[in-house]
Amino acid sequence: MRALIQRVSHASVEVEGTTIGAIGQGLLILICAMQGDTEAQADKLAAKISKLRIFKDEDGRMNRSLVDIGGAALIVSQFTLAADTRRGNRPGFSYAAAPADGERLYEYFTKAVGDLGIPTANGQFGADMAVSLLNDGPVTIWLDTEE
């Protein structure tokens, strides 16, 4: 699985002009299931993200995790993280999981994050979404369970 995480002061996602998910301080997690991904990889990624020490401590150093600060996660499916740009100018997305598998793993990942005690909000799988955020730092990190 691939994830792009952004430390945020707040974030929200809209579908057709209606806010369907919003958080305060925490992480915006853009997530993509790749072909062959499993629930084990979703569990591994959820655990890793929950423990990343990327929030400031009392000394201003990145030394606290999402769990430590009591932050939330806005989890948005984004198959374009599977983009293959090696040839030509049009990205290919053949490495992304099939839609049914992608949706199943997206929902599983969201539950796995929630099971770690992190409040979650979601986008809508397969929808055209408008995501708004205030990136804190900025801090943006790419994670891939295959690397």
Tell me if residue 80 is catalytic. yes
Q: Which of 79, 109, 110, 120 is catalytic?
A: 79
Rounded Cα distance, 78 and 6, in Å: 14
Helix pair 39-51, 99-115: axis angle to 10 deg: 40
Helix (H, G, I), strand (E, B) or coil at 83: coil
Tell me if residue 6 is catalytic. no
Q: Which of 19, 80, 93, 140 is catalytic?
A: 80
Rounded Cα distance, 138 and 41, in Å: 27
Q: What's 5-50 look like in SS3?
A: EEEEEEEEEEECCEEEEEECCEEEEEEECECCCCHHHHHHHHHHHH
Tell me if residue 79 is catalytic. yes
Q: Which of 6, 41, 55, 78 is catalytic?
A: 78
List the catalytic residues. Answer: 78-80
